[in-house]
Amino acid sequence: MHRFASRRIAARTKSRSFFCFRRSAWYDGEAITAKAFAENWILITNDKDFGELVFRERRKHHGIVFLRLEDERAANKIEVPRQLLKSYAEKLAEQFVTVTETKMRFAGT
């Protein structure tokens, strides 16, 4: 089993958990994507490799939130997803969502 350097964001919808992680020595995007799919997680990441996995390699997922932030400070990395989940948690399933501090773009996959 892979070890993931991660934190689960304290947010749940009726049937989904949100999982946020950062890259580490144990990082394996394919394994993370497979585990997230099996566990019914929506991933929150700032790693653009997941776009490649989803759109080019057609990996199955239950939702990915790609954070494309100008301000990379920890407080902003917490606040931007918190605001997204507060307003759109129920709309994130099965979507690839790109989020900045001021915009979001939904791309069904």
CA 108, CA 69: separation in Å to the nearest integer?
A: 21
Which band of pLDDT confidence, cut at 50, 70 and 90, is reported for residue 37? very high
Q: Letter for the amino acid at 95?
A: Q
Is pLDDT above 80 for 109?
no
pLDDT score for 5: 35
Place of tokens 């939702």: 63
CA 43, CA 63: separation in Å to the nearest integer?
A: 6
Is pLDDT above 60 for 13?
no
pLDDT score for 25: 57
Does the pTM exceed 0.85?
no
Is pLDDT above 70 for 22?
no
Tokens for 3, please give them. Answer: 């070890």
Closest CA to 98 of 31, 109, 90: 109
Distances (CA, A) of 14 to 40, 56, 80: 11, 30, 21
Closest CA to 70 of 106, 103, 100, 104: 100
* All structural domains of the chain with their residue ranges: 6-108
pLDDT score for 9: 44
Per-residue pLDDT reduced to its tens digit, 52-80: 999 999 999 999 999 999 998 989 988 99
